[in-house]
Structure 1
Amino acid sequence: MTGHARPRTTRTAALLGAALLLSACGAQGTAATGADAGPPRPGGTLRLGISSNPDCLDPQQVGTNAALNVGRQLVDSLTDQNPETGEITPWLAERWEVSPDSTAFTFHLRSGATFADGTPVDAAAVKTSFDGIKALGPKSLLGAGYLAAYRGSTALDPATVKIEFSVPSAQFLQASSTMSLGVLAPAAYAGTAEQRCQGTGLIGSGPFVFESFQPNREVVLAKRPGYAWGSPLWGHTGEAYLDRISYRVVPEPGVRTGSLASGQLDAITDVQPVDEPQFTGNGFTEPVRPNPGIVFNLTANTTRGVLTDAKVRQAVSKGINRPEVTSTVLSSNYRAATSVLGSTTPLHADLTKELAFDQQGAQALLDSAGWQPGPDGIRVKDGQRLTASVVFSAVFNQNQSALELIQQQLRKIGFDLRIELHTTAETTTIQQSGNYDFLWFNTTRADPDILRQLYSTKSANRSKLTPGPLDEALDQQAATVDPATRGPAAERAQRLIVEQAYVIPVFELTQVLGVGPTAHGIEFEASSRLRLFDAWVSGS
């Protein structure tokens, strides 16, 4: 990446950040366009088409990409994460120390950073912000998990804050780089959480400030004058280039792509596979980056029906032809899963061999478990059909098509996968109740601790497991930032999940943008959300 990164990384920060190096790279982090556009030009408005309405703008509360792509521009974080290496680097904190048991994190703040209301970003403000996130409880869709064991924060002096947890929480170092734990001004908490959702009192220290929000139509952010404390990972210092960012809500994919092609928009998110060929030439570019975290998968409830049998779950995994799913339903921009974690996740383990398509192996497993072909091709045992349902919502446009192809693939081994479409709210309720066979979903996070959050018996436990070796591995990876310990523990956890088919990974969600010839410098941060500090626009 080009630019003027300030050499602020201390030895302590560098050593701790090294714990989060990626095991697999290849992400495309920069969306630069127009090789002849010349140097960046300050000014102008980036017209960005987004696929859904950001129901809440407060990054501490929301979990959707549409909202987080707005919130990232409004708030700074204690740390940043390099999207190419996974390393945790300074931002609002110049350096930090982590206790040997990973229960206490002491951050030393840089000087000079202020919130949009002019108040300083000091230790007292950080404490107020983290206490505020914790007080949100389940309203903080991502932060609640990051701060599940949060005990509290202490301002040791104006420039030093100590954040403590009741159990080892190595994951917090990466969590501190996210917009979900972005720091808001103390004045932001004078109003209600609902008011912050609509932008009222949403006061951050980021390079942009909130200007207006028309639900289902447009969100407008404006440049923060005098901003001068950006992350060293960014491409330039000082203020953002853009005067404004206009997020235009355009749910219909065809309208979104048409608006970009006609010049009514400068860039769009969520380009659909069928539309991708439009933006691979003629001055257009198509930046892509696979999401880190949990890939799209079938998570099995191991206490329900035929899925109580490991051989059945393993047969389902072998019976899915993942490359066929990506090549038929998606595009070459999407990767077949190589683990339960996406390939851009730090400490990802490559389990390609374990996830190979093996129809004969699947049939042999079912034969050995006593499942015999029935009259309609679906296997039976003791009068019971080999069937299970999958609950999903249409948060990703290709979900139903992907599941229909998987359904066809599994029929060839004699397994009947029933597909149940629900609203997002209904799916959440079903997931919380445990009333499902399979769940189909993905979850974005650039840290392997997302496995503990979702599959530990002490946490969400989506596979309904009993305490055992997986808990041990998940606890070990949470206990230290030392990669010599954390890496092997994270790999053990991934292997157990895949080999026992608690989770059946299928493909990695990928962010695919369409960028027109007038837009430049749009980038992905480590969680594959947009970073627009270095973005700029040129004349057509």
Structure 2
Amino acid sequence: ALTSDGESFRIHRQVYETLVDLAPGSTNELIGGLAETWEGEPEDTVYTFHLREGVTFHDGTPFNADAVVANFDRMANFNEELQEFAYYYGQVFGFGDDSILESVEATDDMTVVVTLKQPNPTFLYGLVLPCFGMVSPAVLEETAAGEPDSAFGTEVTQAGTGPFILESNTPDEETTLVRNEDYWGEKAFLDTLIIRPIDDPAARLQALQGGSIQGYDLVSPSDYETVTGDGFQLVERLSFNTLYLGLNPNARENAAAADRTYYGDAGESPLKDVNVRRAIELAINKEALIPSFYGGRGSVATTFMPETSQWADVVEGGVTPNAYDPEAAAQLLADAGFTADNPATLHFWFPTQVTRPYMPDPAGLHQAITQMLEDAGFVVESHSDIWDSPGYLFDAQNGYYDLHFLGWTGDWDDPGNFYGIHFGYDGDDPAVQFDCDADMKAALDTANGEANPDARGAAWAEVAGLVHDNVCFITLVHGDTAVALADNVQGYLVNPTGSESMATVSLSE
């Protein structure tokens, strides 16, 4: 519940299980997880979950309705300090008065009834996220998991129900999982699974070539031919991600309030002027990023929705694209009162020690876009921080950066999982990451609550139009992704979301 990054999800997906799941390879087909069946439609407020019999947590305690209630109670009652880290819970379910949940009740040992305050058409999809995997209530109690200084998450605990059990974890080095011999379903083929973070793409390829690993994710597009030429398997996913440039007009005030001294006496941000934000978008040649950083395999992101989404065309219909035009960008800056003697100075952050599906080379992309902005007349102050949260990810999501790179790999195929997650209001306040009050709260509420597919598409197109017209962020590229595997690896099933179980993977002789 306190994680929001894909690399943590990669491990959680093996150890913890959710009530419902996505079918392998799908972005919109729901199947049973720990809930074998359920009743409830998009227009309903009551959902009844019939839990799977015979499931035990890794600590030997039974999975039942009381366990589900305990998990939801824990998340709903996070204190303010923990709420800062519970990004997905806050965005999907909400805290306090903003919560969509009226109640979560155990009506018998294996039945849970969830009542919503109002219909939420994507409620079931939200449950598929790995951070909402069920955890043993006994472990939650033993580790004081509701407290900021909890041992849960920092010590090795046997707390899930999944096909693998956590055996050891050395942060930033490797995590070792072993097969769950008492698993309720088909047991994993591998008896041991080691997941090791390697942040440099070239080092990942070298490790595969040297035989120290049997596979790796996020193959650099420039290495596709090398991988196949060396006799390895290259398994490509459908693109389901977007790189964006985040902009925050109030970042300097937000940082100062949090005792971050990033800006010194820099003064008021030029980003408060929407025409300056428009100038940034016009200054960026999105098309030029694709051959240089995506091996020619990505596509320009006109909107947040990937081209593979069933909603892409209807959402794009609500957006007026801004084509690359550095001369127009320079003119907008001049009209806003910025000149060579009084330049618009921007502080621009990028992450280190990470690559993401949408961001194969953060430093290189930062350098390229910095040059484009400077060519249009901006002055750019460059900054970087390690990806870890707290660190770059925390500061970006809490609105401390003028400009920053982030992106999104969809969790399921719906505009609410893209625009809604990022721009949902906290009460009457716009999302702090962007602080873009484009007067769209009512439009977001309408789009989130619309169950009819045609009306839902039109509503989200309106939201997208408001976001892009006000340049709340700038979508850049949809990146292709792939997994490289040794020739003896079998059964790896890719999913566009990147959420993939290793239980089906085996090694041939």
**1:45 matched residue in structure 2:** none
* Aligned counterparts of 1:152 and 1:403: Cα–Cα separation in 2: 46
Among 168, 171, 174, which residue is 1:212 paired with?
A: 168
| Paired residue secondary structure (2:474) | strand
* Residues 71 and 134, structure 2, Cα contact 8 Å, conserved in 1: yes
Aligned to 1:336: 300
Instruction: Give the corresponding residue for 1:492.
Output: 462
Question: Given the alignment of the two structures, is residue 188 of structure 1 paired with residue 139 of structure 2, yes or no?
Answer: yes
2:421 is the alignment partner of 1:456: no
Residue 224 of structure 2: which of 267, 276, 285 is its match? 276
* Cα distance in 2, alignment partners of residues 85 and 493 from structure 1: 22
Q: Does 1:81 align with 2:28?
A: no
AA at the equivalent of 1:161: V
Question: For 1:108-119, what aligned pairs fall within 5 Å after superposition?
Answer: 108-119=50-61
Residue 204 (structure 2) aligned to one of 245, 256, 269: 256
Matched, 1:503 2:445: no
Q: Percent identity?
A: 23
What SS does the corresponding residue of 1:490 show, helix, strand or coil? Answer: helix
Q: Please say if residues 74 and 209 of structure 1, whose CA atoms lie closer than 8 Å, have aligned partners that are also in contact.
A: yes
- Residue pair 2:279, 2:333 contacting (<8 A) in 1 also: no
Q: Rate the CA distance shift 1:457–1:212 in 2: closer, same or farther, 3 A.
A: closer
User: How do 1:433-444 residues align onto structure 2 when only pairs under 5 Å count?
Assistant: 434-444=399-409
Q: Given that residues 248 and 271 in structure 2 are in contact (C-alpha distance below 8 angstroms), is that contact kept between their aligned partners in structure 1?
A: yes
Which structure ranks higher in relative contact order (CA pairs < 8 Å, sequence separation ≥ 6)? 1
Whether the 8 Å contact between 1:315 and 1:363 is mirrored in structure 2 is no
Partners of 2:117 and 2:396 in 1: how far apart? 27
Verify the 8 A CA contact 2:282 2:329 in the aligned structure 1: no
The alpha-carbon deviation at position 380 of structure 1 amounts to 3.4
> Which residue in 1 is equivalent to 2:70?
128
SS in 2 for 1:338: coil
Superposition pairs for residues 155-194 of structure 1, below 5 Å?
A: 155-166=106-117, 169-192=120-143, 193=145, 194=150
Q: What stretches of structure 1 move > 6 A for 4+ residues in a row?
A: none
User: In structure 1, what residue type is equivalent to 2:2?
Assistant: Q
Residue 143 of structure 1 corresponds to which residue in structure 2?
A: 89
List per-residue Cα deviations over 1:269-297 (Å, max 9, x = no partner).
2333444332123431222336646x221
Q: Is the 8 A contact 2:3 2:87 kept in 1?
A: yes
> How far apart are the structure 1 equivalents of 2:189 and 2:487?
17
- For the 8 Å contact 1:146–1:171, the answer to whether it is kept is no
SS at match of 2:338: strand
Judge conservation of contact 1:340–1:498 (CA < 8 Å) in 2: no
SS at match of 2:299: coil
Q: How does 1:40-439 map to 2 (within 5 A)?
A: 60-82=1-23, 83-98=25-40, 103-136=45-78, 137-138=82-83, 139-148=85-94, 149=99, 150-166=101-117, 169-192=120-143, 193=145, 194-198=150-154, 200-229=156-185, 238-289=186-237, 292=240, 295-302=242-249, 305-344=269-308, 347-349=311-313, 351=316, 354-355=320-321, 357-359=323-325, 363-364=327-328, 366-367=330-331, 370-371=334-335, 380-381=338-339, 384-394=342-352, 395-396=354-355, 398-424=361-387, 425-428=390-393, 430-431=395-396, 434-439=399-404
How many residues of Structure 1 are paired with residues of Structure 2 in the alignment?
462
Across the aligned residues of Structure 1 and Structure 2, the Cα RMSD in angstroms comes to: 3.1
Using the TM superposition, give the Cα deviation of residue 453 of structure 1 relative to its aligned residue in structure 2, in angstroms: 3.5
TM-score when scaled to structure 2? 0.80
**1:200 Cα deviation from its structure 2 partner:** 3.2
Shift of 1:176: 0.6
Amino acid at match of 2:167: E
Residue 504 of structure 1 aligns to a residue in which SS?
strand
User: Residue in 2 aligned with 1:466?
Assistant: 437
Q: CA deviation at 1:509?
A: 4.9
Using the alignment, how far apart are the partners of 1:316 and 1:213 within structure 2? Answer: 43
CA contact (8 A) 1:442 1:509 kept: no
Distance 1:217 1:299, change over 3 A: closer
For 1:120 and 1:239, the matched residues in 2 are separated by 18
Aligned letter for 2:234? Answer: E
Measure the CA separation in 2 of the matches of 1:102 and 1:335.
38
